[in-house]
Amino acid sequence: MEVWPGVFVSHVSTTDWRPDPDVPGTEMHELMDADGTSAGLTRLTTVDSRIEWTPPQRETIYILEGTVRIEIAGGPALELKAGDVASLPAGIDTVWHVATPFKEFWVLS
């Protein structure tokens, strides 16, 4: 929520979730989208999932809950759990294997 021009505030336990139009099967809470950067939360709560994802911008993620294996096309696989932080370049093809419940904070910049 924008509380002042350019100042955004939310909470990890928000109840304001909506389906993510770019990542089927997930829900998102967008904190902000301004100045070429967006940030928010993504969650999966009931079904383990395989998700193909190519970030349109550099994506930095912080795993808040659960685990994920991210396979990078032509590269290594990342095994991430709550407390881990990772950053992926724009345009890289990935496949995410998410174990639920899962929640992440992300920034696209």
Question: Which CATH number is 38's domain given?
Answer: 2.60.120.10
The whole domain housing 17 covers 2-108
Contact 98, 53 (CB under 8 A): no
**What is the number of domains present in the chain?**
1
Measured CA to CA in angstroms, residue 97 lies from 32, 70, 81, 102 at distances of 26, 6, 12, 11
pLDDT band at 1 (very low <50, low <70, confident <90, very high): confident
- Rg of the chain (C-alpha set): 14
**Residues in contact with 84: Cβ distance below 8 Å, sequence separation at least 6, in sequence order:** 62, 63
How far apart, in whole angstroms, are the C-alpha atoms of residue 64 and residue 105? 7
For the stretch 44-76, pLDDT in tens is 988 888 999 999 999 999 999 999 999 999 999
Q: pLDDT above 70 covers what percent of the chain?
A: 100
